[in-house]
Amino acid sequence: MDIADSVFYGGLRLERESEARKDPQWIQQQWDRPDCRVLLMNKDRNLMHWVRDGKSVPTAISHTREQVENLLDPAYETVFLGLDNETPLFATDVSIGNVDQFKKINGEYEFIDLREAGWLLNAQEAALLAYARGLLYWHRHSAYCSTCGSPAQSQHGGHLRLCSNEQCARLAFPRTDPAVIMLIEHRPASGPAKCLLARNARFAARLMSTLAGFVDPSESLEETVIREVYEETGIRVDRVSYQASQPWPFPSSIMLGFRAQAINTDIQIDGVEIEEAQWFSADELKEFGEWGDESDDYCLPRKDSIARFLIESWITDTSRRPD
C-alpha cells in the first residue's frame, strides 16, 4: 500500500518554492502572471462545484486573477501556495458581501466545509484545499503578535508573520499541533487477533474509531500513545511503532499514526470522553457500515481520515499472517 496515495490531505504534488517566496518582488511577479490561479475561501469553507444529486462528486474550483479581481478585499489575506506545473497558485479569503455577489454570477458554485466533502474529492484536490484552509485559518487567528499585541504583518507569501513593533519583531510561523492516533491490537494465544476501537462522546452513535490525543509538553510521541490509551480505556500498551502521518487542518493539526500491542484487555472507560470501547476482529470490522450511510450497525471512520487508513492496513496485515 502506497501511504502517499492512501492517506488523504498529504502527498500534495506542488512546488512550494520555500526560498523564492521570501522575495516580495518574486511573489508579485507570480501574482501578475496571466496564468495565475486563485482559490477562493470564505472563512473555513472552500469554493467547490458540487451537484448534490447523489451521483456527481465535488471538484475544486480556481479562477484567474482577472475573474475575481472585484471580489478581492485588501483587508483579507491572500497567500501563495506554490507552483503547479509552473502555474502560480494563490488562495484568498473573500468577505460575506463579496460572496453574495459572486453567488449571483456563479450560482453553480458553493462554499463547502472540507470536512463534509473532502473524502469525495480526488486526493490531490483534497490536499490542495486542505493546504489553503490551514494556512488561511492561521492568518485569521494570528493578526496580532502574541508577545506584545502589535499588528503582525504577512511576509514570505503568507508563510510568516512579522510583528510590526520594531522593538519586538517577533517572527511567527504557521502553527501545527501534533496529535497521536493509534490502533491498539491484541493477539491472543488462540483465536483471531483483535483491535481496540472506541466512540468519543462527540461522535455519531454508530461510529467506532481509533483512539487519539494531543501531545503534552516534554512528552515523546510514544509516551503520548501509552498515556492516552491508558487514560481513555485502562489498557496498558507496549511495542509502539510508527505507521504514517496526516495533515489535518481542522483546524491546525498533524496526526501521527501508530500501532501498539495491548498488555491487558480489560477495558475501563470514564463514560464522559469515551462512551464505548470494544475489541473487534478483522472479520467483524468487514461487516461495519460506511460513515454517512443509514444502517443501524457500527460504521467505520470517514475514508479521508488516517483512522480509516490505520484500520484498513491492520485488516490487510492480519489477513496476510496466520493467528
CATH of the domain at 126: 3.90.79
Q: Say if residue 41 is in the same domain as residue 128.
A: yes
pLDDT in tens, 95-148: 656 666 666 555 578 889 999 899 899 999 999 999 999 999 999 999 999 999
More confident residue, 236 or 7: 236
Q: Say if residue 161 is in the same domain as residue 237.
A: no
* Residue type at 111 in one-letter notation: F
pLDDT for position 100: 61
Q: Say if residue 157 is in the same domain as residue 266.
A: no
Q: Say if residue 262 is in the same domain as residue 297.
A: yes
Q: Say if residue 97 is in the same domain as residue 169.
A: no
pLDDT in tens, 257-285: 999 999 999 999 988 889 999 999 999 99
Q: Say if residue 135 is in the same domain as residue 193.
A: no
- Identify the CA nearest to 184 among candidates 112, 267, 103, 270: 267
Average pLDDT value for residue range 55-61: 86
C-alpha radius of gyration, the chain, whole number = 22
Q: Say if residue 83 is in the same domain as residue 156.
A: no
Q: Is the peptide bond before 251 cis (omega within 30 degrees of 0)?
A: yes
Number of structural domains (the chain) is: 3
Q: Say if residue 155 is in the same domain as residue 269.
A: no
* Residue type at 90 in one-letter notation: F
**1 pLDDT band (50/70/90 cuts)?**
very low
**51 pLDDT band (50/70/90 cuts)?**
confident
Average pLDDT value for residue range 40-45: 90
Q: Say if residue 158 is in the same domain as residue 238.
A: no
With a pLDDT cut of 70, the percent of the chain lying above it is: 93
**195 pLDDT band (50/70/90 cuts)?**
very high
d(CA 99, CA 92): 12
Question: How do 37-42 and 171-172 pair as beta strands?
Answer: unpaired
What pTM was estimated for this model as a whole? 0.91
As given in the structure block, the three cell numbers for residue 6 are 492512501
Q: Say if residue 54 is in the same domain as residue 83.
A: yes
With a pLDDT cut of 90, the percent of the chain lying above it is: 74
Please give the torsion angle defined by the CA atoms of residues 231, 233, 235 and 239, in that order, rounded to the nearest 10 degrees. -70
Domain holding 153, by residue range, is 144-174
d(CA 284, CA 263): 22
pLDDT in tens, 277-309: 999 999 999 999 988 777 778 999 999 999 999
d(CA 7, CA 303): 9
Average pLDDT value for residue range 52-69: 84
Q: Say if residue 216 is in the same domain as residue 276.
A: yes
pLDDT of 75 > 80? The answer is no
